[in-house]
Amino acid sequence: MKDDILTYREMCDSEDVQTLQRGMNYRLNPDYSVILMSQRANAPYNDEIQTDGLTIVYEGHDAPRMDDLYEPKHTDQPRFTGSGALTQNGKFAEAVDRFKRGDRPELVKVYEKLFNGVWSYKGLFELIDYSYENTGRRRAFRFVLRLTEQGQFKSTTGLRERSRIIPTEVKKSVWERDGGKCVICGAKDELHFDHVIPYSKGGTSITAENVRILCARHNLSKSDKIE
């Protein structure tokens, strides 16, 4: 479920893999790809959540370091390996190219690292665009992902709206404020970031005051009712 809170092991188990070491995982599952993102201060890539609350811009990944003299951050991010095979950047870029020729967009599950050992599932996204930009030191891929319609709900106007992405800093603030446990029963497993007032009823995703941590039992019992 979108906004679930996971340990690293739980994240790997949810994808039925032993480890998730790469940030970009094209077709980890036959039906979708997986990316890992981070907006922490020491994050190696410049990933962003756009102000519309629906879009992620994800930076492509560098070539692996080969020796102490090689500096990946000063080298263009590669589309191909030395042998001519597509890198993960290349595979994601090719998926966008196919989409622009009329194919369905690649589905991508996005997980975000909040703290060491604490991850959040951000939802299922469509990969819709990319650019290959000059950053000043080198050229880097920038992939654009838009939150899917999956998991929509009806608003009070009868229209269907997507719940917005809860910003990273809000999630970090809520985690620290709530002590990493359900605010109702104190459970520390099967946790979820919950909107106190649902977005469909006028609640917001961008302030910690409207977000709290609930366990699965209390999140399901609440449903979309305002308490």
Q: What percent of the chain has pLDDT over 70?
A: 89
Higher pLDDT, 61 or 137: 61
pLDDT of 176 reads: 96
Task: Say yes or no: 19 and 105 in one domain.
Answer: yes
Q: Residue 140 CA to chain centroid, in angstroms?
A: 19
Range of the domain at 177: 160-222
User: Are 173 and 73 in the same domain?
Assistant: no
Q: What pLDDT is attached to residue 137?
A: 87
- Same domain (yes/no): 16, 117: yes
pTM: 0.88
**HEC assignment per residue over 114-140:** EECCEEEEEEEEEEEEEEEEECCCCEE
pLDDT band at 45 (very low <50, low <70, confident <90, very high): very high
Measured between alpha carbons, how far is 150 from 157 in angstroms, rounded to an integer?
A: 19
Q: Does 41 share its domain with 96? A: yes
CATH number of the CATH domain containing 129 = 2.30.280.10
**Which class for 84: exposed (0-12), middle (13-18), buried (19 or more C-beta within 10 A)?**
exposed
Tell me the per-residue pLDDT of 189-206, one tens digit each, with 9 for 90 and over. Answer: 999 999 888 777 777 888
Same domain, 130 and 166: no
Q: Are residues 56 and 108 in the same domain?
A: yes
Structural domains counted in the chain: 2
- Per-residue confidence (pLDDT) for residue 19, from 0 to 100: 95
Of 123, 151, 179, the residue that ends a domain is: 151
56 in the same domain as 138: yes
Does residue 16 surpass a pLDDT of 70?
yes
Residue 165 and residue 75 share a domain:
no
What is the pLDDT at residue 154? 37
CATH number of domain containing 187 = 3.40.1800
pLDDT band at 158 (very low <50, low <70, confident <90, very high): very low
Per-residue confidence (pLDDT) for residue 159, from 0 to 100 = 32
What is residue 225's predicted lDDT score, i.e. its pLDDT? 54
- Over residues 45-61, the mean pLDDT reads 93
